[in-house]
Structure 1
Amino acid sequence: MMKKKQILVVDDDPAMRDVIASYLADHIYEISTAATGAETARVIAERPLDLIILDLNLGGEDGLELLRKITAMAVAPVIIITGHRRDEADRVLGLELGADDYLTKPFGLREMLARVRAVLRRSEPTERPTRGRTKRLRYGFAGWVLDMQTRSLAAPGQGKPVKLTAGEFNLLVAFLKHPMQVLSREQLLAASRVHDAEVYDRSIDVLILRLRRKLEPNPTEPQLIKTERGAGYTFSVPVENL
């Protein structure tokens, strides 16, 4: 039997927290809940998680600061919940801090489930081993190495592994599969699977900014991911299959 995915729901509203937890539990997920940052940290320390759902509007706490701490503590992808559709600034900042997707209130439980499934699906390894195949695909570029099977990115000089969110990973793979080519925002949106319920170009711009901060010595003068004015972006260095 396939192991149930572990999901943590963080919300200080007990009614909303219970509704979300009960609905996801009915769809064969293992659910933990937390109402505060301290409870969240305890759950993260106690068990491996596959996904975290975080309401940014926590009474008495800064939800964005908690998101920053979560992305530093846990490798699980994060879906943030924001107050209403006018909170674009919070959504963008949440994406910049490492969230993988967002929901805006009010939202339907079926929409939430679809987002949960999508984020979990794209956080799975994209290269599955086939029978008799022992070699795994790795991409090399400018001293970096991306392992598709383990989804790990190694910095030049055997440095500390760099953590990528699901969206960052998918976006980087899109670039590595098409180096030295101009890719439009539409192509990159499709490749990174950023949802388009409220498509706005800044979704891709935010992911690009996050990748540059992780890959570029000077993100303000990028050498790897270059902007092509009015056209999109280019991954401007050669890529090898290792």
Structure 2
Amino acid sequence: MLRAGFLLFVLAFLAAPLSGLASGGGGWMALSRQDWDSIATSLLGGAAAMAVIILVGTPLAFYLARARGRLAVLAEAVVLMPMLMPTLALGILLAVVYGPAAPLGRAFSALGVTLTNTPAAFLLATIYAALPTYVIAARGALAQVPVEYEELARTLGDTPRAARLRVTLPLARRGLSAALSLAWVRALGEFGIILIVAYYPAGMPVQLWTDVQDLGLQAVFPLVAVFLLVTLPVPLWLGLRARMA
């Protein structure tokens, strides 16, 4: 009885924020034009970031899942550092590296790409926020597929690349889907990096912060609801699906 009461208390504690959303903070207001713009910015920027993350993150996850030795350990440390670093600190460091006064920033500017307070800067910040999460989660999913399956496919005539595409990726698809959904949540929810690097155009987190400062808590509930609607369902469904499998 005591155990059940303790579990109920913890679950009620975790669910308490949802009651605030249900109440609407005392009332709901319509989404403003700026809110709609922030939704578009987050969704379009997040989708573009996911495409880049899949393309560059999956090969890196394969490497980390299969490689051994000091170089692999060093590579994993490099992947982990942005994920473990405080986001405001990472945003400041990115501004130093990619800002208009930095050599790398000037090089991109010469190509017509400005990496501060532009859609390109938003994409850059989102990739830095979400790529490590995807790589680490995807590496775990790929590592669970025995390497012997790939070797068997190679004995049947597949190249190493074909064996990974035909055997490993399909077997790891559920874990890779979970990795991508976590990266999606991380991308859309990032605030600290984007606050420094890409305050404009404002994504949903920055717009929520602006609305709270300018209009108060009551004004943000419609945007909070949209924010949760585009981030929570897929990871929640995948987590429950894995639990029931």
TM-score, reference length from structure 2: 0.25
- Larger Cα Rg: Structure 1 or Structure 2? 2
Q: Which has the higher strand share?
A: 1
Q: Which has the higher helix share?
A: 2
